[in-house]
Amino acid sequence: MRFFRSRLSPPILLLMPAFVIIALVVALPLLFSLYTSFTGYRLVQPASLWQWVGWRNYQRLLTDVDFWWAFGRTLVFLTIALNLELVLGLGIALLIDKLTAGQRIIRTIMMFPMMFSPILVGFQFKYIFNDNVGLVNNAIQSLGWSDVTIPWLVNPVTANLAILMAEVWMSTPIFAILLLAGLMAMPRDPIEAAKVDGCNPWQVFRHITLPYLMPFVYIAMAIRSLDVARAYDMVKIMTNGGPAGRTELLWTLIARTGYQDARMGMANAMSYASILLSVYFTVYFFRKLAAARRTMGGVA
């Protein structure tokens, strides 16, 4: 058993299994993908893995209009979705917090959308917005508002709105539940003090409740920005990036490039560029979170 008598110090020895596993599962694949982003690697031609192209993939990316459209669309999508979910989630949380009876059951019902797979949500909304048999068109026509068949998922603007709607429907509960947790953990005294100090309900919310909730808002934002930035399944199901690439988000584009076009080297280069987006949002929200924690902390 020479291994156990090795000269390595016990801490290193004991941490070795963890290091080995992390290296195999995380570090090596990461390095490998980084390497491939500098090659002309095509999935169908394994030999191309050794075809070193230097910065060519990245140079092409810079001038790739489709990529930058997807990048920008993801950014806009992220911004609108997060803000909409925040506002709606906050509203729902405030309403549920006011409930005196049946709060548990409402809380559970509220979380139903989170329990569905995004793929199923995608299918559901695809059906809802279907131009022939969809619920929306059916409703519009039955109610006699219009007898035009609106091609929701074919028109670029409405298709994006439909995806946004599905996303908001599915994920608003995450904001609601996190903010509700914040509301429920909130001490009552400062609110009462503010009421006595002359605040009307809006001022209480603006000056007391909201500052208390900000750490929770930032946590929710950080988690959700990562989630939304990697949105794939719903778009894939509802529009598959169409019509004509008008609903293409980063990850649908990357998946298409990597697997359909088999240009894995290029796809990896895109991934690394888009990761910057996620890193930026994460760092931004965590900074905000740390600052909010500092100001809210300290008083029991």
Partner 1 sequence: MAEVKLQKLVKKYGNVGVVHGIDLTIAHNEFVVLVGPSGCGKSTTLRMIAGLEDISGGTISIGDRVVNDLPPRSRNISMVFQNYALYPHMTVKENLGFSLKIAKQDEATIEKRVAEAAEILGLTPLLARTPGELSGGQRQRVAMGRAIVRHPDVFLFDEPLSNLDAKLRGQMRVEIKKLHQKVKTTIVYVTHDQVEAMTLADRIVIMKDGHIEQVGTPAEVFEQPKNTFVATFIGSPPMNLLDATTATEGGRKVAKLADGVTLALPAAAADKVSDGQAITVGFRAEAFSPVGYGLTGDSEVAAIERTVTLPEPLGTETLLYTELGGKEVQGKMLNPRPVQPGEQLTFNLDLSRLHVFDKASGKSVLV
d(CA 180, CA 104): 12
Would you give the binding string for partner 1 spanning residues 241-280, x where CB under 8 A is met? ----------------------------------------
Q: Does 14 bind partner 1 (CB under 8 A)?
A: no
Question: Contact with partner 1 (CB under 8 A): which of 156, 190, 242, 243?
Answer: 190
Would you give the binding string for partner 1 spanning residues 194-223, x where CB under 8 A is met? xxxxxxx--x---xx--xx-----------
Q: Is 45 helix (H, G, I), strand (E, B) or coil?
A: strand
Q: How many helices (H) and strands (E) does the chain have?
A: 15, 0
| β-bridge mates for residue 115, sequence order | none
Least separation in angstroms between residue 220's CB and partner 1 is 19
Least separation in angstroms between residue 219's CB and partner 1 is 17
Q: Could you tell me the sign of the dihedral formed by the alpha carbons of 13, 15, 19, 20, in that order?
A: positive
Q: Name the strand (E) or helix (H) holding 11.
A: helix 10-22
Whether the link from the prior residue into 243 is cis, omega within 30° of 0, is yes
Q: Does 192 bind partner 1 (CB under 8 A)?
A: yes
Least separation in angstroms between residue 189's CB and partner 1 is 3
Q: Is 248 helix (H, G, I), strand (E, B) or coil?
A: coil
What DSSP state is assigned to residue 133?
T
Q: Does 193 bind partner 1 (CB under 8 A)?
A: yes
Q: Does 287 bind partner 1 (CB under 8 A)?
A: no
Q: Does 291 bind partner 1 (CB under 8 A)?
A: no
Residue closer to partner 1, measured from CB, 47 or 299: 299
Q: Give yes or no for a contact between 179 and 93, defined as CB atoms under 8 angstroms apart.
A: yes
CB atoms within 10 A of CB 218: 20
Q: Does 156 bind partner 1 (CB under 8 A)?
A: no
CB atoms within 10 A of CB 199: 16
Per-residue CA distances from 182 to 138, 148, 195, 203, 286 (Å): 40, 46, 20, 18, 17
Least separation in angstroms between residue 296's CB and partner 1 is 6
d(CA 161, CA 167): 10
Least separation in angstroms between residue 115's CB and partner 1 is 35
Q: Does 144 bind partner 1 (CB under 8 A)?
A: no
Least separation in angstroms between residue 104's CB and partner 1 is 20
- Ranges within 169-188 binding partner 1 (CB under 8 A): 187
Residue closer to partner 1, measured from CB, 23 or 193: 193
| β-bridge mates for residue 45, sequence order | 42
Site residue total, partner 1 (CB under 8 A) = 23
Q: Does 56 bind partner 1 (CB under 8 A)?
A: no
Given the rule CB under 8 A, which residues bind partner 1? 187, 189-190, 192-200, 203, 207-208, 211-212, 295-300
